[in-house]
Chains A and B, each alone.
Chain A
Amino acid sequence: MNTRTKFLWIYYACIVNYIPNHIPFMNILVCISHVPDTTAKINFTADGKTLDPNGIQFVINPYDEFGLTKALHLKEAYGGTITVINVGLAETEPTLRKALAIGGDKAVRINVNPEDAITVAKELKSHIETNSYDLIICGQESIDYNGQQVPAMIAAMLKLPFANACVGLTINNETAVATSEIDGGHATFQAQLPMIIGGKKGIVEEKDLRIPNMRGIMSARTKPLELLEPSVHDGATKSLNFEKPAPKPAVKMIDAANVDELVRLLHEEAKAI
């Protein structure tokens, strides 16, 4: 939060004779990637160069939906503004509008094809540097290219604390307590805001997710969607080709009364035990 908004808020709080003992106003950025719906059948173009978008419905990345809901919860508790941002071409605007319909206050689109993670991260970094966010919420992973790269890259470039695979987050004054999944367990971190998280289910629960209602959809149409031109960076990786995994051989069915046969096959044929 910038000093001026903070000052105005404290001033306001004094007038109403109430000074809350937590951050009174949070400026939150939610980074949204635009991905094929989870039920999509994935096909590639005949030359194998890209995804064939025919018949695919694009949605808010599921991890980012948890992040957006977390932002709504924080705003409801402390007040604040939620900005949703995407680095992408015009086709991603319906996804940003949906994020506004769910409860984002304003949207930003940086107009460049998100060809590799470092390109996306550099664009987001430039935006974050020129705005003062208290919290930057990303998802752990985009379910399209499964990069798991963008949030850690932004955090490294901006030297901000970063909690990956974040399944719990509480904010108290300027301090955040974040819980991350680690291999075989959990770790809890304490950090000063601003910080970045790569969130997943757990920062809010499945049942907390919100479906846009009619009022949300109507108001989303008039909420600001700012278009920014990219600063254009060189990427570091180049996608060459996509193929589909080899199809599985037909399943071998085994009689329910004969589990010994399964054990034999697992040992002798599959060498799995």
Chain B
Amino acid sequence: MSVIVFVEDWNGSFKKASFEATSYAKRWAKMLDTQVIAVTGNSTSYPELHAYGADYIIQTPLAKTGMGIAEQLGQLCTDAQGVVIAGTALGKTIGPALAALYNGSLSTNTISLPLSTNPTEVKRGSFSSKGIETIALNGNLPIISFVPNSIGILEISGNGETDSQEIAGNDLMEITEVNIASGKVALPEAEAVVSAGRGLKGPENWGMIEELADVLGAATACSKPVSDIGWRPHSEHVGQTGIQVNPNLYIAIGISGAIQHLAGVSASKTIVVVNTDAEAPFFKAADYGIVGDAFEVIPKLVDALRAFKTAS
């Protein structure tokens, strides 16, 4: 009896979403009066996992793809009461593959802790944040994949045992190349996002956007037309048909706030909008708004934030 959590690592250290997952598992396990088993490919940093709630850690060389990892995880789940997976790019393949292989019932895009445990009920985002759905997980293995940064982290330490095992998992395909943009904050997990739209007039004007992101330790994003015209890479496109984000802070500059854009960003905790047009629909979805020209406001904001950072 246990709650199993998959702990993803990132270049040898754990992702923040992994601690959030461990903490989620601990809180769920407390409701069930059971222990947390963390499964990881990483062979160091165990104390961190214990601090966030892992009672027992199984270290195993992981398969390279989500499919292979799902097969491995499933073999550890024979008497598990639940599984927690962070909704990262990898987690988004592992969750459904695990559910299909091992007769699980899965909630993706989950934004709450379990509301009840028998059956497991949770809230999840649907209709691109225009709706919140409550669902019951009726299968014999409830699996919860949550939106990173939507649950938060609580430190409740677990006991401290570890074990190494070899578990079989097939990848079915070969990875030939991996490119990670170095030194940049990854968008889906970012705590702050600076995003700009067609109001910026051209790609040459993104310097101030990157500067602002830099001061805030934020990821950069853009509206869909901006990536369609090729001013910015597709991987920065946020919205209903792009990456969905839910950072603590989302700053939208020169973006009108079309319904499809809002659908992917409205879950952000605090939204700041800078737009020359006082009637821009984005202001209705914002917490703070400035009617003004980005070319004047943003450099001033960068200076003000720098001053704030030095002072604090």
Residues of A within 8 A of B (CB): 36, 38-39, 42, 44, 51, 62-63, 117-118, 121, 143-157, 159-165, 167, 177, 180-192, 195, 200-202, 205-207, 235-245, 248-249, 251-256, 259-260, 262-263, 265-267, 270, 272-273
The answer to whether B133 touches A270 (Cβ under 8 A) is no
The answer to whether B288 touches A236 (Cβ under 8 A) is no
A sample of 22 cross-chain residue pairs with beta-carbon separation below 8 angstroms, ordered by A number, consists of A42-B130, A118-B99, A143-B127, A146-B124, A146-B126, A148-B92, A152-B66, A152-B96, A153-B96, A155-B97, A156-B100, A163-B173, A186-B179, A186-B235, A236-B139, A245-B129, A251-B273, A251-B289, A256-B292, A256-B297, A267-B308, A273-B192
Residues of the A chain whose Cβ atoms lie less than 8 Å from the Cβ of B184:
184
Cβ-defined partner of B181 (8 Å) among A51, A184, A248: A184
The reply to whether the CB of B166 lies closer than 8 angstroms to some CB of chain A is no
Cβ-defined partner of B300 (8 Å) among A160, A183, A236, A259: A259
The answer to whether A38 touches B131 (Cβ under 8 A) is no
Beta-carbon nearest neighbor of B177 in chain A: A188
The answer to whether A207 touches B228 (Cβ under 8 A) is yes
Residues of the A chain whose Cβ atoms lie less than 8 Å from the Cβ of B270:
266, 270, 272
Residues of the B chain whose Cβ atoms lie less than 8 Å from the Cβ of A236:
99, 103-106, 137-139
The answer to whether B291 touches A237 (Cβ under 8 A) is no
The reply to whether the CB of B198 lies closer than 8 angstroms to some CB of chain A is no
Would you list the 6 A-B pairs with minimal beta carbon distance, nearest first?
Answer: A256-B292, A184-B186, A236-B105, A191-B173, A185-B180, A236-B139
Summarize A's interface: helix, strand, loop or mixed. Answer: mixed
Number of interface residues of B (CB under 8 A): 99
The answer to whether A162 touches B107 (Cβ under 8 A) is no
The answer to whether A237 touches B135 (Cβ under 8 A) is yes
Give the most central of A63, A184, A195, A252: most B CB within 10 Å. Answer: A184
Beta-carbon nearest neighbor of B237 in chain A: A201
The answer to whether A201 touches B234 (Cβ under 8 A) is yes
Q: Kindly provide the distance from the CB of A99 to the nearest chain B CB, expressed in whole angstroms.
A: 18
The answer to whether B67 touches A156 (Cβ under 8 A) is yes
The answer to whether A190 touches B126 (Cβ under 8 A) is no
Cβ-defined partner of B285 (8 Å) among A155, A248, A259: A248
Cβ-defined partner of B175 (8 Å) among A165, A189, A273: A189
Residues of the A chain whose Cβ atoms lie less than 8 Å from the Cβ of B293:
256
The answer to whether A38 touches B240 (Cβ under 8 A) is yes
Cβ-defined partner of A121 (8 Å) among B100, B136, B139: B100
Q: Kindly provide the distance from the CB of B92 to the nearest chain A CB, expressed in whole angstroms.
A: 5
* Complex Cα gap A241–B133 (Å): 6
Q: Kindly provide the distance from the CB of A190 to the nearest chain B CB, expressed in whole angstroms.
A: 5
* Complex Cα gap A167–B236 (Å): 13
Residues of the A chain whose Cβ atoms lie less than 8 Å from the Cβ of B132:
242-245
What are the interface flags for B114-143 relative to A under an 8 Å C-beta threshold, 1 for contact and 0 otherwise? Answer: 000000010011111111111111110000
The reply to whether the CB of B301 lies closer than 8 angstroms to some CB of chain A is yes
Cβ-defined partner of A177 (8 Å) among B176, B178, B259, B308: B176
The reply to whether the CB of B287 lies closer than 8 angstroms to some CB of chain A is yes
* Complex Cα gap A180–B133 (Å): 29
Q: Kindly provide the distance from the CB of B91 to the nearest chain A CB, expressed in whole angstroms.
A: 10
What are the interface flags for B169-208 relative to A under an 8 Å C-beta threshold, 1 for contact and 0 otherwise? Answer: 0101111111111001111110010000000000000000
The answer to whether A252 touches B287 (Cβ under 8 A) is yes
The reply to whether the CB of B75 lies closer than 8 angstroms to some CB of chain A is no
The reply to whether the CB of B305 lies closer than 8 angstroms to some CB of chain A is yes
The reply to whether the CB of B88 lies closer than 8 angstroms to some CB of chain A is yes
Please judge, given known A-B contacts A149-B96, A237-B136, A242-B133, whether A181 and B283 are in contact too, CB under 8 Å.
no
Please judge, given known A-B contacts A38-B259, A184-B181, A263-B308, whether A148 and B292 are in contact too, CB under 8 Å.
no
Residues of the A chain whose Cβ atoms lie less than 8 Å from the Cβ of B174:
189-191
The reply to whether the CB of B168 lies closer than 8 angstroms to some CB of chain A is no
